[in-house]
Amino acid sequence: MNNIGSYEERYKTFNWKQSEEELEYGKNGMYNIGYYCSDRICEKGDGNKLALIWEGFTGEVKKYTYDDIRVYSNTIAKFLQDVGIGIGDRVCLFMDKVPELYLSFIGILKMGGIAQPLFSAFGEDALYTRLDDAQTKAIMIQKKHLHKVRKIKSKLPNLTKIIIIDADDSQPQVNEIHFWMEKAQKVDKFDIVKVGPEVPSVIHYTSGTTGKPKGAQHVHSSIIAQYITSKWVLDLQPEDIYWCTADPGWVTGTSYGIIGPWANGVTQIVLDAGFGTEKWYAFVQKYKVTMWYSAPTAIRLLMKEGFDVVKKYDLSSLRHLASVGEPLNAEAVIWSDKAFGKPFYDTYWQTETGAMVITNFPGMKIKPGSMGKPFPGIAATILNTKTYEPITTPGIVGLIGLKPGWPSMMRTYWNNRETYDGKFKNGWYVCGDRASIDNEGYFWFVGRDDDVINTAGHLVGPFEIESALLEHKAVAESAAVGKPDPVNMEVVKAFIALKPGFEQSDDMELDIMNFIRKRLSPLAMPQEIEFVPSLPKTRSGKIMRRLLRAKEWGEEIGDTSTLEND
């Protein structure tokens, strides 16, 4: 029996209070996420239950019980207090998927700090932009990534604590602190800071079409939504072995890679290694994974390897599968049903929504390729693109709109209230995605409503790439667009006009690709570069990215009346 039971019944009768009551949220004035993900589970008698089984790429394994999570997060919280981190200070987590990342996240929340996880593959420019915007006070980092911070720290006056979690015997530089979680004096009792439910907890950065990345700021009461969506959509049950493949540098990795499973008291496993089909199947087999939450890009890579490799492994432990990041194509749903005997259930949500909002539910009839239906407590509709009035006719494409007010919704963009306010139209939060609803109430994704590139489930802003490209010595002007890709949905393609004196060549293309990879991230690296004499512009000089994108997608170019004359 799945946790949700009848979706229709739940939708009719649901109130978020139900989740609060199950969590006993606010009991004794406690609203801190850190408590609900560790101490509370221990108080319920599950202190000896495994919370985290971690495996590194070399095969090293570490295991942590809920009591270990409690004590280690206490230890980290106390350490942060002792070095001068206070309530509301932003503490960046910049690590691979090592145990310290998960435990520090809880530790930061326990002492009232704001966790700012960032994808550890970010280059120094991407890192600088996000630390500068958040006025981050401390960064917890592995020594392998330290060189990036050392290059930019002189430009970050607020960044006064650089905490190296796996330092060697070398002498720390100015503002650097060595901290070894396993060797530190363990703190059994820690006064978890009694923050209010509306106190900021996490900032996740996400990209837009224009301007710098925006920090979606969440609050402690987001756990109300993360807990119940984990329970009803991921169907987490006490005996589950849960594997969320997302990196906590992105929102899935915190909402459903830390908060959701641990608030539910579930054992989760983490593989800190790059993708490999056989490696992943062997991991499922070894740990008898029951619930697997992954991404369409990974599923399509598994598909590429075919059925024969599936048969080499015993994957019979798998009970439920779900997917997030970009729309899961119908072929992948059908394939997984054949390969694993069960389909991947697609879930739709965003960094800004903090938790799933439109999804396929256990027990519900899946229509392959559909996003599913709104989570109970979420009022979702399709809005007319001009009037922002709900469209009542099935099949008409418009913008996905959500009625504000669910617990995990971002409360603002950090330092950017104006952009936040601009996300609301006619009383609806506008997600920025186009979709339609069919006559049975299922949502069907169509595409983004802006130029943001969704590559392997991660949003990449063209402006950030174009700005970085202009820093390359040979680039005169550039435009970055998403081009279709069978595995990643979209990949970055750059159109580049070179400065006089530079000539296009394979070497030049490779040099520019690597330049962006190191400055921003591998995700932002153009997978293809087309050299052009000049870029199409409006008469006012604005590059017409839309035109280039349409060409890549084989779409109608549309209105070109504002195009600059050659």
Using CB under 8 A, list all residues that contact other proteins.
57-58, 96, 121, 144, 147, 272-279, 301, 304-305, 455-456, 506-507, 509-510, 513-514, 517, 522-523, 525, 527
Compute the least distance from the CB of residue 101 to other proteins, in Å: 14
Phi, psi angle pair for 336, to nearest 5°: -65, -35
Closer residue to other proteins in complex, CB, 279/539: 279
Beta bridge mates, 373: 359
CA–CA distance, 164 with 132 (Å, rounded to integer): 20
CA–CA distance, 298 with 315 (Å, rounded to integer): 17
Beta strands in 47-172 (DSSP E): 50-56, 61-65, 90-94, 114-117, 138-141, 161-164
Closer residue to other proteins in complex, CB, 32/488: 488
Closer residue to other proteins in complex, CB, 418/507: 507
Compute the least distance from the CB of residue 504 to other proteins, in Å: 14
Closer residue to other proteins in complex, CB, 57/307: 57
Closer residue to other proteins in complex, CB, 304/539: 304
Phi, psi angle pair for 283, to nearest 5°: -65, -45
Compute the least distance from the CB of residue 425 to other proteins, in Å: 34
Compute the least distance from the CB of residue 493 to other proteins, in Å: 12
Compute the least distance from the CB of residue 95 to other proteins, in Å: 11
Compute the least distance from the CB of residue 522 to other proteins, in Å: 4
Closer residue to other proteins in complex, CB, 275/307: 275
Compute the least distance from the CB of residue 58 to other proteins, in Å: 8
Compute the least distance from the CB of residue 489 to other proteins, in Å: 13
Burial (CB count within 10 angstroms: exposed 0-12, middle 13-18, buried 19+), residue 170: exposed
Closer residue to other proteins in complex, CB, 160/527: 527
Compute the least distance from the CB of residue 459 to other proteins, in Å: 14
Contacts with 2 (C-beta within 8 Å, 6 or more apart), sequence order = 235, 320, 362, 363
Write out the DSSP string of 328-390. Answer: PPHHHHHHHHHHHSSPEEEEE--TTT-S--EE--TTSPP-TT--BEEPTT--EEEE-TTT-PB
Distances (CA, A) of 409 to 75, 217, 311: 30, 9, 42
Task: Tally Cβ neighbours within 10 Å of residue 190.
Answer: 20
SS3 249: coil
DSSP state of 257: I
Rounded to 5°, angle at Cα 164 from 159 and 170: 115
Closer residue to other proteins in complex, CB, 228/480: 480
CA–CA distance, 101 with 54 (Å, rounded to integer): 11
Closer residue to other proteins in complex, CB, 517/537: 517
Task: Tally Cβ neighbours within 10 Å of residue 393.
Answer: 10
